[in-house]
Amino acid sequence: MTTQQGRHFLQIPGPSPVPERILRALSMQVIDHRGPEFGALGREVLAGCQTIFKTSGPVVIYPSSGTGAWEAAIVNTLSPGDKVLMVETGHFATLWRKMAGRWGLDVDFLAGDWRHGADPAAIEAKLAEDKPKSIKAVMVVHNETSTGVISRIAEIRKAIDKANHPALLMVDTISSLGSADYRHEEWGVDVTVSCSQKGLMLPPGLGFTAISDKALAASKTNKMPRSYWDWEEMLKPNANGFFPYTPATNLLYGLREAIKILLEEGLDTVFARHQHLAAATRAAVRAWGLEILCLEPAEYSPVLTAILMPQGHDADQFRALVLEKYNMSLGAGLTNLAGKVFRIGHLGECNELTLIGTLGGVEMGLAAAGVPHKAGGVLAAMQALGDLNTAVSQLAAE
Binding-site annotation: residue ranges for substrate: 343
90 dihedral zone (left: phi>0; alpha: psi -120 to 50; beta): left
CA distance 351 to 335: 30
The answer to whether 138 and 158 have CB atoms below 8 angstroms apart is: no
Pairing of strands 143-144, 207-211: unpaired
Residues annotated in the binding site, as ranges? Answer: 343
Burial of 35 (C-beta count, 10 Å sphere; 0-12/13-18/19+): exposed
Say how many residues make up the chain: 398
What does the alpha-carbon distance between residue 103 and residue 76 come to, in Å, rounded to a whole number? 12
Q: How far is CA 114 from the centre of its chain?
A: 16
Pick the closest to residue 221 from 76, 332, 102 (CA basis): 76
Are the C-beta atoms of 254 and 203 separated by less than 8 Å?
yes
Q: CA 20 to CA 154: how far, in whole Å?
A: 35
On whether the CB atoms of residues 13 and 343 are closer than 8 A, the answer is: yes
DSSP 274-291: HHHHHHHHHHHHHHHT-E
Rounded CA gap, 50 and 45, in Å? 9
Instruction: Report the distance separating Cα 261 and Cα 293, nearest Å.
Output: 32
Yes or no: say if 86 and 139 are a contact pair by the CB < 8 Å rule.
Answer: yes
Phi-psi region of 71 (alpha: psi -120 to 50; beta: other; left: phi over 0): alpha
Return d(Cα 387, Cα 389) in angstroms, integer.
6
Q: Coil, helix or strand for 36? A: helix
- Cβ neighbours for 322, distance < 8 A, ≥ 6 positions apart: 328, 330, 361, 362, 365, 369
Q: At what angle do helices 249-265 and 267-288 cross, to 10 degrees?
A: 80
CA distance linking residue 145 with residue 147, whole number of Å: 6
